[in-house]
Structures are given as C-alpha cells and as structure tokens.
Structure 1
Amino acid sequence: MYAVIKTGGKQYRVSAGQKLKVEQIPADVGAEVTLDQILMVGEGESVKIGAPFLAGATVKCTVVSHGRHDKVKIFKMRRRKHYQKRQGHRQNYTELRIDTIAA
C-alpha cells in the first residue's frame, strides 16, 4: 500500500516502513505525527483519489531525527560592474519513518 502525501508545500509518495526527509516539523524526536493531507492512496489495482484530499485518510509517522541539508552556495555577479556576492544556505529538515497508512 502506498500514499501520496502533502507536507511542507511538497508532495511525496510513501509506503509503510519508509524513511523520508521533509521540511522541518515542530515535534520532538520519537514523537508520533499524524499527516492528514492525503492526496491519493493505492493498493494493487485499486486507487482512491481525493479532490483535493481524501476524507478520513491518515498517515502515522514517527520522528526519527532533525538535521540540516548540505550547504547550497549562491554566487551573484554583474559583469564589468565590480559586483560579486557570495551566500550560503542550509535548509532544516525532519526525518520521518512511515508507520501506518489508513485509508
């Protein structure tokens, strides 16, 4: 069984037992999180599609860890104008383990 969930403005295809890095969620490590924005649930040939979300469908997850992604380097330059700017960015994330999918 798999589901397509929406969290942090992004969509992910998940199945039970999978680990997933999503945008940071304010929850403690080891806490159980319930995601209720489920766009689609599928099992074999049967597929349920929401409009836009499925009513009553939930995905239960456990917070495994919090962390930061690798640094993304930003370099801006205007030619012939003596303008150069360097900047870096590291995005925070929460790693989730998908426990159950209930449709």
Structure 2
Amino acid sequence: MYAIVATGGKQYRVKEGDVLLVEKLNANEGETLEIKEVLAVSKDGDLKVGTPLVEGAKVVFKVLGQTKGKKIIVFKYKPKKNYRRKAGHRQPYTKVVVEKIEA
C-alpha cells in the first residue's frame, strides 16, 4: 500500500515505515501530524486517484526531528565592475516517518 501526498509544495510517494525529509513543518520532535492532502492511494493493486484529493484519506507522520540541508553558496559578480556578493543558504527540513496510511 502506498499513497501520494502533497506537503511543502512538493509531492511524495510514501508507504508505511518510510523516512523522508520534507519542507520545514511547525512541529516538535515526537509529535504526530496528519496530512489530508492525499492525491492518490494504491491498495492491493487498486489505484484510487482523487479529484484533486481522495475523500477521507489521510497519512499519519511522526516527527523525528528538525534538520538543515547542505550549504549552498550564492555568488554574484559582474566582470570588470568590482561587484561581488557572496551569501550562503541552508534549507530547513523536517525529518518524518510514515506511521499509517488510512484510505
């Protein structure tokens, strides 16, 4: 059984027990979250696609912690003009495990 859920502007194919990094969610470590934006659910080879969401379906996540991604260096410059700007960015993520898929 798997489901396709939308969170943080992205879509993920998840099944029970999967650990994934999603865009930062406002939740503390150990909390459970219910995501009701389920786009599709497959159970025993039967695919149920929502229009746009599947009625009554939800996915339960357990938050494992907050983390940050790899540092990205942003460097802008214009040749021969002595214009240089350097900045760094680390995207915040929430590490979650899929506990249950209900359809």
Report the TM-score, using the length of structure 2 for normalisation.
0.95
Cα deviations by residue, 1:3-45 (Å, 9 ceiling, x for unpaired):
1100011111111000010011111110111000001111342
AA partner of residue 81 (structure 1): K
5+ residue gaps, structure 2, are none
Cα distance in structure 1, aligned partners of 2:64 and 2:26 = 13
Find out whether 1:87 has 2:87 as its counterpart: yes
Code of the residue aligned with 2:60 in structure 1: it is K
Query: Which residue of the partner structure matches residue 99 of structure 2?
Result: 99
Query: How many residues matched?
Result: 103
> C-alpha distance in 1, partners of 2:100/2:36?
12
Q: Do residues 37 (structure 1) and 4 (structure 2) align?
A: no
Deviation at 1:70, TM superposition (A): 1.2
The match for 1:23 is 23
Say what the alpha-carbon RMSD is for the aligned residues: 0.9
Report the counterpart of residue 71 of structure 1 in structure 2: 71
Q: Give the gaps of 5 or more residues in structure 1.
A: none
Q: Answer yes or no: is 1:49 the counterpart of 2:49.
A: yes
Deviations 1:35-79 (A, max 9, x none): 000011113421011111111000011000111111111111112
The 1:81–1:44 alpha-carbon spacing in structure 2 relative to 1, beyond 3 Å, is: farther
Moved more, 78-87 or 56-65: 78-87
Please report the TM-score for the alignment, with normalisation by the length of structure 1: 0.95
Distance, in Å, in 1 between the alignment partners of 2:96 and 2:36 is 15
Determine the C-alpha separation between the residues in 2 that align with 1:58 and 1:74: 38
Q: Please identify, of 74-83 and 33-42, the stretch whose mean Cα deviation from structure 2 is larger.
A: 74-83
